[in-house]
């Protein structure tokens, strides 16, 4: 289940995509299926193992021939990217900025490696869900690896603009996940054994494979989304 709309990001064959905070590689897989070359970046070794296996499988797909898309993964963070300026055609950064203290600095580094005219999609949790989860469980923010801020979309948009990105659109995603995290916060974040938690998790797996559930979720995304996505184009070096 993708957070960033790859069609809206205009990913095309031959593009180089950086997925910063790639997790298990879901956006990388979608980009490879569109013929793009991908680099998945993350700090978690286990997530990178999953992403590496999926990228390798898709890169070996029959019929790709000499022009088959290429991909790889790299362990690292968004503050020190080992790439020259203007390296990538497209960048995705999904659900990372709520975890880092200097999100403006992270965005500047991402935009540095995005070529002029390249497009970027950055996702954050919606404020309405974050406030609810905080009320239900302080651990949602206080446990290691938890979120450290609740974003106002305008703050993210302003930081992107200062980094040199023209923000051109917004989308919402994962409405069906909003209740899941509310249930987990209410019943215990570190315990996935309660019946309600396990049942809803099974429902989400089924929903990810159902076109009907996808259409329902897209409608609900305008009511109670879990994630917000800003799309933009690099147009300048940015403000100091």
State how far the alpha carbon of 207 is from the alpha carbons of 3, 30, 44, 210, in Å. Answer: 15, 18, 27, 5
State how far the alpha carbon of 229 is from the alpha carbons of 5, 71, 168, 174, in Å. Answer: 9, 24, 11, 11
Cα–Cα nearest to 208, from 23, 63, 22, 26: 26
Query: Cβ contacts of residue 114 below 8 Å, gap of 6+?
Result: 18, 86, 87, 88, 90, 91, 120, 234
Q: What is the pLDDT of residue 191?
A: 79
Domains and CATH numbers, the chain: 16-126+144-174+226-234 (3.40.50.150)
Q: What is the pLDDT of residue 139?
A: 86
Q: What is the pLDDT of residue 240?
A: 47
Q: What is the pLDDT of residue 66?
A: 55
pLDDT values of the chain reduced to their tens digit, one per residue, 240 residues: 799 999 999 999 999 999 999 999 999 999 999 999 999 999 999 999 999 999 998 877 655 555 678 899 999 999 999 999 999 999 999 999 999 999 999 999 999 999 999 999 999 999 999 999 999 998 888 887 788 899 999 999 999 999 999 999 999 999 999 999 999 999 988 777 889 999 999 999 999 889 999 999 999 999 999 999 999 999 966 554
Q: What is the pLDDT of residue 61?
A: 65
SS3 72: strand
Cα torsion 41, 174, 149, 114: sign: positive
């Amino acid at each position: 289940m993708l957070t960033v709309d790859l069609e809206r990001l205009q990913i095309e064959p031959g593009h180089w995509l950086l997925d910063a905070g790639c997790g298990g590689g879901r956006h990388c897989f979608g980009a490879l299926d569109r013929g793009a070359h991908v680099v998945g970046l993350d700090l978690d070794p286990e997530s990178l193992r999953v992403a590496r296996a999926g990228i390798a499988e898709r890169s070996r797909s029959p019929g790709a021939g000499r022009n088959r898309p290429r991909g790889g993964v790299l362990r690292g963070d968004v503050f020190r990217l080992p790439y020259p300026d203007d390296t990538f055609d497209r960048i995705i950064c999904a659900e990372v900025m709520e975890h880092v203290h200097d999100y403006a600095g992270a965005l500047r580094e991402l935009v540095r490696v995005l070529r002029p005219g390249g497009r970027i999609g950055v996702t954050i949790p919606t404020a309405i869900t974050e406030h609810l989860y905080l009320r239900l469980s302080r651990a949602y923010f206080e446990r290691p690896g938890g979120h450290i801020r609740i974003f106002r979309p305008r703050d993210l948009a302003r930081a992107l603009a200062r980094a040199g990105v023209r923000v051109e659109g917004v989308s919402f995603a994962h409405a069906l996940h909003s209740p899941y995290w509310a249930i987990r916060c209410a019943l215990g974040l570190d315990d996935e054994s309660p019946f309600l938690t396990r049942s809803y998790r099974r429902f989400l797996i089924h929903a990810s494979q159902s076109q009907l559930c996808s259409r329902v979720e897209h409608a609900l995304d305008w009511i109670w989304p879990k994630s917000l996505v800003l799309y933009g184009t690099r147009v300048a070096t940015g403000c100091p």
